[in-house]
Structure 1
Amino acid sequence: MIILSVLFFIIGLALLLGGGWLIALGGSLYYCLAGVALIAVSLLLRKKHAYANFIYAIFLMATLVWSILESGLSWWPLATRMGLFLILAIPLLLIAFGKHRRGWIFLLPVWLAAAATTLSPLMVTSPTTVEGELPRAVSIPFSSDVDDGDWNAYGRSNLGQRFSPLDKITPENVDQLQLAWQYQTGDKKGPKDVGETTYEATPLKIGNALYLCTPHNWLIALNADTGEEQWIYNAKVPAESQRQHQTCRGVSYLPPSDSKPLSAVQKVSTPSENLSSLQCDAQLFLPTSDARLIAVDPETGARCANFAENGELDLMHNMPFKQSGYYYSTSPPLVTGGVVIVAGSVNDNYDINSPSGVIRAYDVKTGELVWNWDSGMPYKTEPIAEDELYATSSPNSWSVASADEELGLAYFPMGNRTPDQLGVYRTPAEEKYATSVVALSLKTGQVAWVQQFVHHDLWDMDTPAQPSLLDLDTETGKQPALVIPTKQGDIYVLNRATGEPIFPITEEAAPQGAIAGDHTAKTQPTSALSFKPENLTESDMWGATPLDQLICRINFKQLRYEGRYTPPSEQGSIIYPGNFGVFNWGSIAVDPKRQQLFGMPLYLAFTSTLIPKEGLDLSDSNKGEQGVNSNEGADYAVDLKPFLSPLGIPCQQPPWGFVAGASLNTGKTVWKHKNGTIEDMTPFKLPIEMGVPGIGGPIITDSGIVFMAAAVDDYLRAYNLADGKELWKARLPAGGQATPMTYLNSKGEQMVVQVAGGHGSIGTTIGDYVVAYKLKK
């Protein structure tokens, strides 16, 4: 009895004190009143008085009413508000069965009613679920310059659709998929690697070979039938602590000039870096994290002597600043129209004087510079002279580009100028092209059009995803469309020839009040097709127990928050959607025949705090996207991190991750379901479906199946595109934070391949696996 009394007193006192603090901040009265009630129960228990049970029964019923008013009949919000208090009632009920039967008579029915009500949401559809079904009728014919059984570019082709015309695996037989082979690269995260060491590669399939890169820029060729290693080219990238990312999303392919298929890939026993360089017809292009572009022969893994300097091109040429680890390419270059076009990533928030975000086109055979487009000086696209420099820290394009050769245009998703949260260093040209998609001429690099998605971006809302190109039936006839998702949750559908919106874009009023010397845009654009979240409220704050919920509520009230686009501040601001974005580099997949899309919207809030430097020593500041970044040369450092409870879980209530399907004809979301479990988020391996975060992308097959891993539990899943229902899943040996692909092997069997190596910054299981699945015979 004494121990129970002390427990009630401690919990009650914490709720009373914290609740009083919350009231002072303008928050809910509930926690303070709950603290008073639990302290009263504690004192009555110490006196062994039956009124302890009466008061607790009244408290439990009041808590249930308050919980329903705040969260409705939604399982996770209701369960975590009620769970601890339902558990605490159990010893009171046991005591009531002993000496205090009058208390039991009242408490037991209240407890049963509260428990039944708390469990009742499990029996009904979640209020966050949207049920519907996309039509399966074919809208328009499909054609592609890629063989049906191949996967020749990151998004299968330069259209970036992530759609395969294969249909051997269907909704009816997908549950018969089994492991066909498994390969380990040998390239694993090391003790000296940066935190964001990630395995994000999507392999290419050409002929009967698979080609993929690893985080440390090994290029590997595998037999597409068996997964047997054919050769490895090791770019020998040195370790560098100043990189923000250690990753490679993929390589690019130049077909042979005579358009004939590749010869059989040779199994090379000698390490390929020691092979003699040769004159290449077909070529693979490997971007490296030490800012090189390497051309490799697909058959042998030898470097291509015809390209640049013995197959290697130094991408640091003409850079205004050349700090080691500040510039590199994480995404495959664009090979099209006789050029290989390379963009790169510039570290966020390290230094106001950083390398340029220039986009450059080189002759695909010789490596000679054909044109360069720098958003800091956008009209000067002729090749730069040897003694000239590109613009300092200009906005970069770190994600994957797309191209339409018939229109002669390449489409680049654009990021922001560093520092991302400080706008005082930007030129008018940089303001125009930051956080946008820009269409560049394949021949000259000149701008055809630009569409911006955030004005004066202070939130690191880089356009993160490859544009998807398809021909779209609209009310005014067929239009060449470009579909691109954004971090802030909008999906823009534009005419890719002109940049004009196909779905309306409107300007909405935005919060004001940047730091002194800076400004915020009065309005921000939003698309008619959008997955943007509702604004957070205090009642959205969440935790495993009422105690960490209370702390999250206090933090919510202390931070600045006025909705989407709340400016960063010295006070600390909630940024929602956060830096991970609603969509990221995994992008979406589109079905060009049925004109539908599949996406994985994510909802996680971050906090952004500007720190006046004024003599602070930030030499030990974080080298990564999260934590304190020093912004060398600026007046402010910035502290970026997820908005988490003291237990390390998001302060906002779940679900945090969904899968969704939408019609590109109507612009309407047809279905939306929570996605993923907490199985790999806790030590208890509980496969509880909660709707978890993820990073990675989907693919669609012509049979109407979507394959995607991405979530923070280690599974590859198959979904029905029509209604979003999960059809199959397979346990992966490591985190699947990469986009899968599918192809036909030499026997005509459809294969599905997933790279599983984990993601250093979100804590999924680290590995070095490539796994392939096919139907049982």
Structure 2
Amino acid sequence: MAAIERRRIGYWLIMAFAALLTLAALALIGGGAYLIVLGGSWYYALAGLALLATAVLLFRRSRLAVWVYLALFAATVAWALWESGFNGWAQVPRIFTPFVLLLLVLACLPGLRREPRVDRRMAGMAAAGFAILVGAGLLLNGGDRGSLVAQEPTPGVPVEQPAVGADPAPAAAAITFAMPDTGVDWPAYGGNIHATRYSPLDQITPQNVGQLQKVWEFRTGDLPQDGEPFGNQNTPVKVGDRLFVCSALNKISALDAATGAEFWTYEPGVSSDNVGYNASCRGLVYFDNPAAERTALCATRTVNLTHDARMIALDTETGQLCADFGNGGVVNLLEGIGDTAPGFYAPTSPPTLVR
């Protein structure tokens, strides 16, 4: 009685596994067919057909299912090596899941029926047929797959140099930043454009740090509601007498570094619905344009990112948007990346200044 019960459990486990393989096979066939239409690899559609055959044979409790899947796994290994060579990490996504399925298929063996007159002949035909199909698919897809072969120059034959374009790009002139030094100032997220995170100031030491007292405080007004994930991760930027900070929801404030008095605050109108995993702003960028008139708007500016994927440039003196940056001071970082949902792309780190 116990043996019958175990057989029943084994039977239903095999049926459940076959059903899962059927769903996976249909997904591979559908996605693989679409990939073929787009000019991609034939492997996925062919593997889906072989996986579907394995599932059907498992439903019949035929041991031929094991042979069909072994042929599929062998073809998968060959395809993976053809695709990525002996790059171990590149093989993980190609072989790991098929290997796990191989172990599960082999685990079904005790519950499968033996068909001695059919198994060997059909197994050989299935393996050979699938190998032919995969080989044909690789050949059909191989036309778009280039390869680079190093060639040795022929002795005595001059090497032909590549032609120079009709309009070669002019050499770029070096541009010097008007970036303050780290010390009295902290002009960048990492201290300076090299991100050394080092300050030469020595007034605060391990011996006196415990004696520091609060001189002033400033509240941004950004507080979490109903357990929202907020984080205070801001590294302020300090240039001259001004301290530039950003809040959890990307408000930018310019403060008097000595007193904490507010010069201006820019409200970008970011909704908490746009927060990806944590409402935080880690910093912003300060830029002094060496080519601008000192009194011109946005001769010095801050640039920051928002949770709703905008890049915003502000004049450091007034907090006004810089009209010469993006679209009236704002660049939409979602433009051109397709359909998105709130929080799909929510940058929290400061942008990188490259000039």
CA deviation after TM superposition for structure 1 residue 11, in Å: 1.4
**Kept after mapping to 2: 8 A contact 1:71/1:77:** no
**Kept after mapping to 2: 8 A contact 1:343/1:360:** yes
Paired amino acid for 1:262: D
TM-score if structure 2 supplies the norm length?
Answer: 0.52
Deviations 1:150-177, CA, capped at 9 Å, x for gaps: 9956632354x53x4xxxxxxxxxxxxx
Q: Does 1:365 align with 2:276?
A: no
Quickly say closer, same or farther: Cα 1:62–1:337, change in 2 above 3 A.
same
Matches within 5 A, 1:438-449: 438-449=312-323
Deviations 1:264-309, CA, capped at 9 Å, x for gaps: 615259xx4xxxxxxxxxxxxxxxxxxxxxxxxxxx42222xxxxx
**Kept after mapping to 1: 8 A contact 2:189/2:236:** no
**Kept after mapping to 1: 8 A contact 2:303/2:314:** yes
CA deviation after TM superposition for structure 1 residue 22, in Å: 9.0
Quickly say closer, same or farther: Cα 1:265–1:155, change in 2 above 3 A.
same
CA deviation after TM superposition for structure 1 residue 375, in Å: 3.8
Q: Which residue of the partner structure matches residue 94 of structure 2?
A: 78
Give the structure with higher Rg (CA): 2
**Aligned partner (choices 214, 220, 242) of residue 315 of structure 1:** 220
Matches within 5 A, 1:748-763: none
Paired amino acid for 1:369: E
Q: Which residue of the partner structure matches residue 206 of structure 1?
A: 199
Aligned mates of 1:71, 1:60 — CA distance in 2: 17
Q: Secondary structure at the match of 1:314?
A: coil
TM-score if structure 1 supplies the norm length?
Answer: 0.27
Quickly say closer, same or farther: Cα 1:567–1:68, change in 2 above 3 A.
farther
Q: Secondary structure at the match of 2:322?
A: strand
Aligned mates of 2:247, 2:29 — CA distance in 1: 49
Q: Secondary structure at the match of 1:312?
A: coil
**Kept after mapping to 2: 8 A contact 1:403/1:410:** yes
**Aligned partner (choices 2, 12, 17) of residue 11 of structure 1:** 17
Quickly say closer, same or farther: Cα 1:63–1:567, change in 2 above 3 A.
same
Q: Does 1:58 align with 2:74?
A: no
Q: Secondary structure at the match of 2:218?
A: strand
Q: Which residue of the partner structure matches residue 207 of structure 2?
A: 267
Quickly say closer, same or farther: Cα 1:394–1:21, change in 2 above 3 A.
closer
Matches within 5 A, 1:629-640: none
| Structure with more strand by fraction | 1
CA deviation after TM superposition for structure 1 residue 399, in Å: 3.9
Q: Which residue of the partner structure matches residue 338 of structure 2?
A: 565
Percent of matched pairs sharing the same residue:
14
CA deviation after TM superposition for structure 1 residue 363, in Å: 1.5
Aligned mates of 2:307, 2:285 — CA distance in 1: 16
**Kept after mapping to 1: 8 A contact 2:244/2:255:** yes
Matches within 5 A, 1:235-274: 261-263=201-203, 265-268=205-208, 272=210
After superposition, the CA RMSD in angstroms is 5.7
Q: Which residue of the partner structure matches residue 411 of structure 1?
A: 303
CA deviation after TM superposition for structure 1 residue 366, in Å: 1.7
Quickly say closer, same or farther: Cα 1:372–1:22, change in 2 above 3 A.
same
CA deviation after TM superposition for structure 1 residue 8, in Å: 3.7
Quickly say closer, same or farther: Cα 1:587–1:566, change in 2 above 3 A.
same
Deviations 1:110-139, CA, capped at 9 Å, x for gaps: 69x99xx9xxxxxxxxx9xxxxxxxxxxx9
Q: Which residue of the partner structure matches residue 284 of structure 2?
A: 401
CA deviation after TM superposition for structure 1 residue 36, in Å: 0.7
Aligned mates of 2:28, 2:239 — CA distance in 1: 59
**Kept after mapping to 1: 8 A contact 2:303/2:351:** no
Paired amino acid for 1:61: A
Quickly say closer, same or farther: Cα 1:38–1:73, change in 2 above 3 A.
farther
- Unpaired runs of 5+ in structure 2? 35-44, 85-90, 135-144, 146-172, 290-298
Q: How many residues align?
A: 267
Aligned mates of 2:271, 2:340 — CA distance in 1: 25
CA deviation after TM superposition for structure 1 residue 410, in Å: 1.6
CA deviation after TM superposition for structure 1 residue 362, in Å: 1.8
